[in-house]
Amino acid sequence: MSSREEVLRRVRDAIGGARGTHPPAPRGYARRLTEAEAATRADVLALFTERVAGHRAAVRHVSADELATAVAAALWGREAKQIVVPADLPFGWLAELDGVRALADTPALDLEALAAADGTVTGCAAAVAQTGTVVLDGGRAQGRRALTLVPGYHLCIVHADQIVGTVPEAVARLDPSRPLTWISGPSTVHDIGATRVDGVHGPRHLEVLVVED
Amino acid sequence: MSSREEVLRRVRDAIGGARGTHPPAPRGYARRLTEAEAATRADVLALFTERVAGHRAAVRHVSADELATAVAAALWGREAKQIVVPADLPFGWLAELDGVRALADTPALDLEALAAADGTVTGCAAAVAQTGTVVLDGGRAQGRRALTLVPGYHLCIVHADQIVGTVPEAVARLDPSRPLTWISGPSTVHDIGATRVDGVHGPRHLEVLVVED
């Protein structure tokens, strides 16, 4: 018996009869918000807003007609001069930019260009009220992962109908085969000496615009 | 019997037993291009190009990476200063504009603004090689009908995979409940004295960019 066969034999012995099967996972967790948490749709949106703000992210509600102006105002507020965006971002979202240059990520910008940008603007695939999370899946208006992880500022547009109550509800809406990025507030770690350090693994600043149609 | 009833009676008599039914329509027409017309996919694209050009429309093939530059070049070539676009036009299509102002049609621009624009840029829902036609259905990147009928210049982006051989093939792809606009070249009429007059019912100038991925 070769060493390879020996190793495989030990692995097979160790996993025994359970090979290829999984122990049942407990599914007793809450799949939906309770009445106390959110009785109405407006409560769900309010909870999302509260939880996003709790992650030290800025969050604002706008109407569809106000969106372009709100995007421009957010970028002016940060004195952004150059941003990077997915090529399929709806043009209307950036229609009011004045003095801010937007670079489309096609052909793909190099990492230096992403790092030099003052921020990025994207949509999302879904959002979770209970955890104040936006989820990106690389689909329409979201771009590839580097686009939202390298720049220091991420402005994320969330349509109200994309917001669900809980993580299980979001999972049910999403395609598990896509590259999912779950964003709960700006990037922050406490890895070293329990000291909070922001912006190491993603944007230091996150801003969310909720569009209510 | 009132005059209304009398008229309705005559109508019923006239349509008789055929009321609510339709005589069978002959369906013996060609549903697909013949081998002689287009043996390969490249032949279909070449036929589309030839037929669009035959309608006195400009047509050019570009790669996806060249699209933004080609759009800008087309607008610069017409000395366009201000254009109107659907709000959901992919941002990347206009990413290279410099000196051309793009107004998003949301909230809806008034007719004066549409008429004052130097042109419009849209996508399409399908295109037909045999007739050199682009079809708009008001869906993504196409906007409402007035957006493409009022301005005097229409730049239409057609992805190669949107081009089919014949009208029946296009019909099979389209949703008949949507507001379909079939565009075969610039608007032209011969209503009065058989004199050709351009641009009365739509753009006087049509330009098509075929994007080959």
Question: What is d(CA B209, CA B212) in angstroms, rounded to the nearest whole number?
Answer: 10
B-chain CB neighbours of A86 within 8 Å are: 91-92
Name the closest residue on chain A to residue B109, using Cα atoms: A65
The mean pLDDT value for B169-197 works out to 89
Nearest to A45 by CA among A125, A127, A105: A127
Domain with B62 in it: what CATH number? 3.40.50.10420
Label residue A17 by pLDDT band (50, 70, 90).
Answer: low
**Interface contact flag, A88 B86, Cβ < 8 Å:** no
Question: What is d(CA B48, CA B61) in angstroms, rounded to the nearest whole number?
Answer: 11
Residue A163 is assigned to a structural domain of this protein: yes
Q: pTM for this structure? A: 0.81
Residue A6 is assigned to a structural domain of this protein: no
Residue B169 is assigned to a structural domain of this protein: yes
Name the closest residue on chain A to residue B90, using Cα atoms: A88
Residue range A120-170, pLDDT digits in tens: 999 999 999 999 999 999 999 999 999 999 999 999 999 999 999 999 999
The mean pLDDT value for B181-186 works out to 94
- The nearest CA of chain B is from the CA of A56 a distance in Å of 29
A-chain CB neighbours of B157 within 8 Å are: none
Is the predicted pLDDT of residue B19 greater than 80, yes or no? no
The whole-number pLDDT of residue B138 equals 96
Residue A136 is assigned to a structural domain of this protein: yes
Please tell me the least confidently modeled range out of A75-84, A97-106, B23-32.
B23-32
Label residue B20 by pLDDT band (50, 70, 90).
Answer: low
B-chain CB neighbours of A106 within 8 Å are: 64-65, 68, 92
Is the predicted pLDDT of residue A71 greater than 80, yes or no? yes
**Interface contact flag, A94 B89, Cβ < 8 Å:** no
Beta-sheet strands, E only, within A68-172: 82-85, 101-104, 120-122, 126-128, 133-136, 153-159, 163-164
Residue A30 is assigned to a structural domain of this protein: no
Beta-carbon neighbour count of residue B161 at 10 Å? 10
**Percentage of the residues of chain B whose pLDDT score is greater than 70:** 98
The count of structural domains within chain A is: 1
The mean pLDDT value for B147-157 works out to 96
Label residue A20 by pLDDT band (50, 70, 90).
Answer: low
The whole-number pLDDT of residue B18 equals 62
Residue A26 is assigned to a structural domain of this protein: no
Residue A136 is part of which domain span?
37-188+195-212
**Interface contact flag, B90 A89, Cβ < 8 Å:** yes
Residue B155 is assigned to a structural domain of this protein: yes
- The nearest CA of chain A is from the CA of B122 a distance in Å of 11
The whole-number pLDDT of residue A196 equals 81
Question: What is d(CA A65, CA A70) in angstroms, rounded to the nearest whole number?
Answer: 10
Question: What is d(CA A64, CA B142) in angstroms, rounded to the nearest whole number?
Answer: 18
Is the predicted pLDDT of residue B116 greater than 90, yes or no? yes
